Amino acid sequence: MKSYCIVIQVNDDNNKSLAVLREVFGYRSFRGHQSDIIDHVAGGGDALVLMPTGSGKSLCYQIPALLREGMGVVVSPLIALMQDQVAALGELGVRAAFLNSTLSGAQAAEVESRARRGELDLLYVAPERLLTGRCLELLGSSRLALLAIDEAHCVSQWGHDFRPEYLQLDVLRERFPGVPRVALTATADEQTRAEILERLQLGEARAFISSFDRPNIRYRIVEKNDARTQLREFIGGEHAGEAGIVYCLSRKKVEETAAFLSSHGIGALAYHAGMDAGARRRHQERFQREDGLVMVATIAFGMGIDKPDVRFVAHLDLPRSIEGYYQESGRAGRDGSPADAWMAYGLQDVVQLRRMIDQSEAGEEQKRIQASKLDAMLGLCEAAECRRVRLLGYFGEAAEPCGNCDNCLDPPATFDATLAARQLLSCVYRTGQRFGALHVIDVLRGEASAKVAQRGHDGLSTFGIGAERSSREWRAIARQCIALGLLEVDHESYGALRLTAGSRAVLKGERSVSLRAWREPKRSRRSGGAQDALSGGEQALFERLRAWRLEAARRHGVPAYVILHDATLREIARARPQSLDALRGISGLGAKKLEAYGAELIGLAARAES
């Protein structure tokens, strides 16, 4: 093993990787397939690594690069992220640098000569830079430990992150035969996987495919009532002072929601494609670096968000597909601590998205696919069983009820809705299948609105037959009937409810229908499990540690989490270590960080005691 700034002493060959994990990174044990991947790559094998966001892909190339002779080269399209990774590695005492367009000529030349002198453990390179003759020549004259291709799904021409330069990365195999290559991605589907193997010529690579479950994320979907107030109560009640992302469908709503939160004392920033590039960059930068900001964004805020301590992702509008929902909500809790994926949705969302699909330029086949993805999303929202089982099932993975979603924690009651469904369907039929849910419900409830009178719907046999249910109850029933395929939202006339092939059996009394009972939405309350809760004294110390961290981050010019993660601060607050030895047992403190911050941390913990 080569020695870098830190000398690692291990006698047992097999435990070298574990020693690096503990000494350099300060973590106790490997997660999932990490250990197998690291052994395989450190031994010279090629690998394809599929792991969900936040599960620790970086270590899968960082540790082998430290174990093998020479420099590890990491290709990544995400420039901001590269910078932070290099800063974080520097904090750990690892010799890392990057080459991308943000460097001046002189700075780049300096990095190049460090690489030539064999003074780098890891070099991060943007793909367009890598493909230049100059860079290939540099790598050719350096000793290479491995080649890592991060965000490998960027080779896929069908995906939305496609990068043409990625198609040329097969050059790496030709130029550097014998150097192990590892491709990494969090994109799960079969087609992308096959494309990566083919285009990067990784036919011999061993594939390591992890479960895509994110057990620390708690899924919750609530009925939309007054969405902004619901959001404010959710954040105020459960995530005050914590970082989060709020997704909205439109730019206008992004702006309005950010202003609304700010006016209620919640630090919020906006992000959407209509803003100029400079403002977007500033907001992203502040979100990444400061503690506890809320980013309100359209889905333009996406790839490259590497903030590990995002405590919640909230959706104020229904995402278009489960794929999108999973990717967006997956930006919460990358550090493995408890996090929330929270969504408020209502029937209007379905109507709006249907309309957007219908009015888009896409071809008929494309529209059909989009509509069926939306149906699957709606099915998830209306599910009465475990959300996680549904989500993972959608990606072809079997799972047991999780105990960490709204439906598991507070199972919804179901009721025999056969009669109610029949009343609703027949009212849709009697009103001519030309009206939206609100009008149909008015007729059912016997509301003598102007529109009801004007259409003469107060004379229908279904007028007033559902008066005993509230309008919200009826909306919940309508949504579930749509999710079950008993009703559909008309593609042509906006939002009109129409019968389907499935309606007939219900209308004829041949099919019974069971639905989840409507209930008053609960007020938000702190939901974090026992592992999250700190006592009063511990909380005070935690806050002091955060303030200290912010100061340290300023001094070093890096984001706060690069200094230490929340989980590490929380563990310190709980254990109140009195000595370096006691501190050594805390996850997230490697040798270099102990040396740099150990004394200060012990000082802070001791001061809190007195």
Our finding on whether 326 is near ligand ADP (CB under 6 A) is no
Q: Quick check: 334 binds ligand ADP (CB under 6 A)? A: yes
- Is the Cβ of residue 354 or residue 565 nearer to ligand ADP in the bound state? 565
Site for ligand ADP in 269-308 (CB under 6 A): 308
Position 27 contacts ligand ADP (CB under 6 A): yes
How is the beta sheet containing 144-149 ordered, strand by strand?
96-99, 122-125, 71-75, 144-149, 181-185, 47-50, 206-209
Torsion angles phi and psi, residue 514, rounded to 5? -115, 130
Q: Does 380 bind Zn ion (CB under 5 A)?
A: no
Rule CB under 6 A: say whether 211 interacts with ligand ADP: no
* Residues 380 and 485: beta-carbon distance below 8 Å: no
Binder to Zn ion among 305, 405, 441, 594 (CB under 5 A)?
A: 405
Nearer CB in complex with ligand ADP: 51/478 = 51
Provide the residue type at 463 as one letter: F
Q: Which stretch binds Zn ion (CB under 5 A): 103-111, 179-187, 388-396, 563-571?
A: 388-396
Residue 327 CB, nearest distance to Zn ion (Å)?
Answer: 20
8 Å CB contact between 356 and 392: no
- What does 95-150 look like in DSSP terms, one character per residue? -EEEESTTS-HHHHHHHHHHHHTT--SEEEE-HHHHTSHHHHHHHHTS-EEEEEES
Q: Tell me if 335 contacts ligand ADP by CB under 6 A.
A: yes
Q: CB under 8 Å, gap of 24 or more: what pairs does 408-416 form?
A: 411/384, 412/384, 412/516, 412/517, 412/519, 413/516, 413/517, 413/519, 414/384, 414/514, 414/515, 414/516, 414/517, 415/514, 415/515, 415/516, 415/517, 416/512, 416/513, 416/514
54 binds ligand ADP (CB under 6 A): yes
Binding residue for ligand ADP (CB under 6 A) from 10, 45, 58, 103? 58
Burial of residue 526 (CB within 10 Å: 0-12, 13-18, 19+) is: exposed
Taking the C-alpha atoms of residue 573 and residue 448, their distance in angstroms, rounded to an integer, is 62
Q: How far is the CB of 557 from ligand ADP (least distance, A)?
A: 19
- When binding is defined by CB under 6 A, the residue of 17, 53, 192, 352 that contacts ligand ADP is 53
Q: Which amino acid is at 603?
A: G
Half-sphere exposure of 369 (CA within 13 A, CB side): 6
Total interface residues for ligand ADP by CB under 6 A: 15
Between CA 179 and CA 216 the distance in angstroms is: 36
For ligand ADP, the binding residue among 24, 56, 287, 435 (CB under 6 A) is 56
Name which of 590 and 598 has its Cβ closer to ligand ADP: 590
Residue 199 burial (CB count, 10 A): 18
Output the smallest distance, CB 51 to ligand ADP, in A: 5
**Of 24 and 332, which CB lies nearer to Zn ion in the complex structure?**
332
- Of all residues in this chain, which one has the CB nearest to ligand ADP in the complex? 56
383 binds Zn ion (CB under 5 A): no
**Residue nearer to ligand ADP on the CB measure, 112 or 242:** 242
Near Zn ion by CB under 5 A: residue from 49, 145, 402, 417: 402
How far is it, in rounded angstroms, from Cα 541 to Cα 539?
Answer: 5
Torsion over CA of 472, 478, 480 and 486, rounded to 10 degrees?
Answer: 170
Residue 376 within binding range of Zn ion, rule CB under 5 A: no
With respect to ligand ADP, which residue has the nearer C-beta, 303 or 608? Answer: 303
Partner interacting with residue 408 (select from Zn ion, ligand ADP, none; CB below 5-8 Å by kind): Zn ion
Q: Which residues bind ligand ADP (CB under 6 A)?
A: 27, 30-31, 34, 51, 53-59, 308, 334-335
Q: Which residues bind Zn ion (CB under 5 A)?
A: 386, 388, 402, 405, 408
